[in-house]
Structure 1
Amino acid sequence: MLKDFRTFIARGNVLDLAVGVIIGGAFATITKSLTDDIIMPVVGAIFGGFDFSSYFVKLGPVPATYAGNPDSYAQLKAAGVPLFGYGEFVTVVINFLILAFIVFLLVRAVNRVIAAAEREKAAGVAEPAADPAEVVLLREIRDELKNRPVAGTTPPSI
């Protein structure tokens, strides 16, 4: 069983998938930072606030024992207050769209490189041009001279 597992792991597809997941996780972190730290502050400034992800609507009462900030989405959520966090949802959707667009650009670039390589390969596989008549004639003369007996020797037997 261990041998089968080792064979399974050693396959290229499994290793490619593992690399893809690791790079995807790191790439998602970069995209999240791009969204949270660069894009959403600009969007928040356009819509009247700097922290767009903190836009929410309270769906239930705040507990009487709650001592935190009544305008803090994170604190109210941690206290168990039912909230409709539309700002966080919009942030996640924008993050997804950015990630999907960047992946689209990467796939498009890879497809172009592969297509160019295939075109180059197809052009390189083309049949070589026919030899000129002079070259063919010279080869025939060479081959005929090889088969002629040299003076003073016996001809080869067939």
Structure 2
Amino acid sequence: MSFMSEFKEFAVKGNAMDLAVGVIIGAAFGKIVDSIVNDLIMPIVGAIFGGFDFSNKFIALKAVPEGVAMTLAEVKKAGVPVFAYGSFLTILLNFIILAFIVFVLVKQLNRLKKAPPPAAPAAPPEDIVLLREIRDSLKK
């Protein structure tokens, strides 16, 4: 079998196509979760903790030059290394929500998946049937 025909067989198999579809849907789903965290959850969490924005929480690891606004974007733009723990907390919350949603989704799919009906016992081979008939006739 040639390399190209093997690759074609692999690429059109259900598993490879399912994986590709899963990656595309996962990327889109990740954007939805990112929006939920940044636009809905983090403002509420910020309001609960005193009205501050987590995404702008950082510790500058060097002195910030005069005239630079103390926002994460501006400090990074000035070339100052930062310990951006607010961004990390936002991304961590993003991951936890995404992992929880995937867990619930998989759990529901497993619940909805019907167990296959029990298979009928396979008929014994013909030689076994003949041996049983001989055994039964000898018992008589």
The TM-score with structure 1 as length reference comes to 0.69
SS of corresponding position for 1:48: coil
Please identify the structure whose Cα radius of gyration is greater: 1
What residue is the counterpart of 2:45 in the other structure? Answer: 43
Per-residue CA deviations over 1:68-89 (Å, capped at 9, x if unaligned) read 41x1111111221111111111
Residue 9 of structure 1 is aligned with which of 1, 8, 11?
11
Residue 115 of structure 2 is aligned with which of 94, 102, 118?
118
What residue is the counterpart of 1:133 in the other structure? Answer: none
- CA shift, 1:50, in A, is 4.1
Task: Measure the CA separation in 1 of the matches of 2:16 and 2:90.
Answer: 33
Name the amino acid aligned to 1:102: I
What residue is the counterpart of 1:26 in the other structure? Answer: 28
How many aligned positions are there?
A: 119
| Percent sequence identity over aligned pairs | 51
RMSD of Structure 2 on Structure 1 (CA): 1.8
The answer to whether the 8 Å contact 1:42/1:50 transfers is no
**Moved >6 Å (runs of 4+):** none
- CA shift, 1:102, in A, is 0.1
SS of corresponding position for 2:115: helix
Per-residue CA deviations over 1:30-87 (Å, capped at 9, x if unaligned) read 00000000000011111123421111111101246xx541x11111112211111111
- CA shift, 1:2, in A, is 2.2
Q: Report which stretch shifted further, 88-97 or 46-55.
A: 46-55
Task: Measure the CA separation in 2 of the matches of 1:50 and 1:27.
Answer: 27
Task: Measure the CA separation in 1 of the matches of 2:102 and 2:110.
Answer: 12
Task: Measure the CA separation in 2 of the matches of 1:126 and 1:108.
Answer: 29
- CA shift, 1:126, in A, is 7.5
Name the amino acid aligned to 1:60: K
Name the amino acid aligned to 2:45: V
Task: Measure the CA separation in 1 of the matches of 2:75 and 2:68.
Answer: 8
The TM-score with structure 2 as length reference comes to 0.77
Residue 60 of structure 2 is aligned with which of 42, 49, 58?
58
Task: Measure the CA separation in 1 of the matches of 2:65 and 2:4.
Answer: 55
